[in-house]
Amino acid sequence: MPELPEVETIKNELAPWVMGQSFTQVTIFDAGLVSGGSAEEVRRGLIGQKVESLRRRGKYLIFHLSNGRSLIIHLRMTGVLLLNPKQVDHYARAVFHLSNGHRLVFSDLRRLGLIWLVDDANTVVGKLGPEPLDESFTPGILGQRLSRRHIPVKAALLDQGIVAGIGNMYADEALFAARIHPLRKADALSPEEVQTLYHCIRRVLQAAISSKGASVDTYVRPEGELGTAHFDFKVAHKGGEPCPICGSTIERVLVQNRGTCFCPRCQPIDSGPLI
């Protein structure tokens, strides 16, 4: 699933092509793509509207339009946004034509992604937690939010209402960097551990953005190039392989039904209370 670094990369790379441009034609092949309205309502609501700004909130892309409304796109598991692909394949769910002659294709292998056209973006993204890379996000805020949840810290990091944008693979990487076992209770971390985790989250995400995201599955950048962040992964998607630090075998367990990879020696199970 595209996580914060992948969606941030998509935003950064699409912005020069879409900012200041108007939608001239919109084709939605799959009505199930639209949430909270109809495909025809979205089509009519977009045509003629200029993209005033493009931003990311958590894992969502938000196109702010000239009439004050917002087009919100959530790629979910396998969605990609392709700029001027040579052909529109049978996984395409929508095509957006722009006034500069370019087109944006929403392709989605598993058809799980969603779009909204709303008057107020907060109706969709308002319940998200703080952005982990914002200056206003501090170790104290992270500690307060974790202290309210008596669940595994891995599950807490995946809860978008606690912190926005962190998904499975970057949660694994941040916990490994912080040397925290994924089954530790979120509310049992010491202030020192929270401080370390805070810095590891930010460092892991910033490094992944610099590498244009991780192409471990279906993610590609808008012009078709791959991201390279996965080449630097230490534990994510590496169950059964040796730990790059100590050589122990990386284990894979389920945490609330999410595959979780960690090193049992670098992230010792006896370092705190478990579920």
Active site residues: 2-3, 59, 258
Q: Which of 238, 234, 168, 247 is nearest to 207 (CA)?
A: 234
Would you tell me how many other CB atoms lie within 10 Å of the CB of residue 187? 15
Three-state SS at 275: coil
List residues bridging with 258 in a β-sheet. 255
Give me the numbers of helices (H) and strands (E) for the chain, helices first please: 7, 10
Two structure tokens written together for 223? 């012009």
Q: Which of 37, 75, 39, 69 is nearest to 53 (CA)?
A: 69
123-127 LR contacts (CB < 8 Å, sep 24+): 124/60, 124/72, 125/57, 125/58, 125/60, 125/62, 125/72, 127/160, 127/161
